[in-house]
Amino acid sequence: MDIATHEEAAQWLRDQWEVDNADQRAQYQAQVQEEQELLEQRRQEAANAERLKEAERKERELELAKEAEKKHTPLYTFQKGKSIASIPSQLHPHAKKLMTVCKYIPLWYFLPEAAAEAKEQNKESVDTNCFQIAMDDSETSGSLLTLVGSHAACASPNAIPDVQLTWAQLGVYPNKFIVMFAGFYTNMDMHQELRELEGELVMAHYHAKMHLAWYNVNDRKEPFDLLVISESILETS
């Protein structure tokens, strides 16, 4: 390129600057675009990792909830309006104790006499706290006589006081069962037996027997409707 004047030289320099500047701008824009794409890629990877972490956390919580549900005593559907005419036989407390420690249970404990005795013990537990002398045959203490409550049971160290329980822990019953339990107490409170002589004691016996009987038969998948007052059981309470 021939440059004859100062003006032509200045123009050539401007043209060269524009070309060089355009190249540098293109390189800069390409670098900025690459950095933005890299940042966006990292942001997407972080978001995906967070979503995966949250999904794994929810899956673990679901598995724990399923495991906890397996440990709960299931509530089987009961036939509305159906009550029971008699309380099912109860296993003698001593037989339960022997069964818990996997020891031999004498056959007498499976006879009707033992069931009747267990029924009487349960009735006495509503009336008063009794004490009896028992033989403690544990390996650490040897054979010693011990004064214990006739209906004593050791409290669990993991027990939580009622006032510290949350509603989420308590509100596990479906509405159908809530209505049944509410009707159970309402009907007892309104029953004419409560206003008879010793009516409060009779109703306390009825409550204890029916409450225990319902959970026993629920374990056998045959729950009944607690809302219906069983007059035959009330007469023997």
pLDDT digits (tens, 9 = 90+) for 133-172: 555 554 444 556 555 555 543 444 455 666 666 666 556 6
Q: Which residue range(s) make up the domain with 24?
A: 1-72
Query: Does the residue 83 lie in any domain?
Result: no
Both 21 and 116 in one domain: the answer is no
Both 127 and 219 in one domain: the answer is yes
Both 11 and 68 in one domain: the answer is yes
Both 68 and 113 in one domain: the answer is no
Both 138 and 173 in one domain: the answer is yes
Ramachandran class of 81: left when φ > 0, alpha when ψ lies in -120 to 50, beta otherwise: left
Q: Longest Cα pair distance anywhere in the chain, in angstroms?
A: 134
Both 61 and 177 in one domain: the answer is no
Query: Does the residue 88 lie in any domain?
Result: no
Q: b/e map of 78-113 (b: 16 or more CB within 10 Å)?
A: beeeebbeebeebebbbbeeeeeeeeebeeebeeee
Query: Does the residue 35 lie in any domain?
Result: yes
State yes or no: pLDDT of 63 exceeds 80: yes
Both 97 and 194 in one domain: the answer is yes
Which pLDDT tens digit goes with each residue over 28-48?
899 989 999 999 999 999 999
Burial class from Cβ neighbours inside 10 Å (0-12, 13-18, 19+) for residue 126 reads middle
State yes or no: pLDDT of 5 exceeds 90: no
Q: What is the number of domains present in the chain? A: 2
Query: 144 pairs with which residues across the strands?
Result: 136
Domain boundary among 20, 38, 72: 72
Burial class from Cβ neighbours inside 10 Å (0-12, 13-18, 19+) for residue 59 reads exposed
Which residues lie below 8 Å from residue 133, measured CB to CB, with a gap of 6+? 145, 146, 147
Burial class from Cβ neighbours inside 10 Å (0-12, 13-18, 19+) for residue 181 reads middle
pTM over 0.75: no
State yes or no: pLDDT of 85 exceeds 70: yes
Query: 32 pairs with which residues across the strands?
Result: none
Both 42 and 135 in one domain: the answer is no
Both 174 and 116 in one domain: the answer is yes
- ∠ Cα 191 85 94 (to 5°): 105
Query: Does the residue 78 lie in any domain?
Result: no
Both 104 and 61 in one domain: the answer is no
Which pLDDT tens digit goes with each residue over 172-218?
677 888 889 889 989 999 999 888 888 899 888 898 888 888 888 88
Both 14 and 125 in one domain: the answer is no
The average pLDDT across 39-64 equals: 91
Query: Does the residue 97 lie in any domain?
Result: yes
pLDDT value at position 57? 92
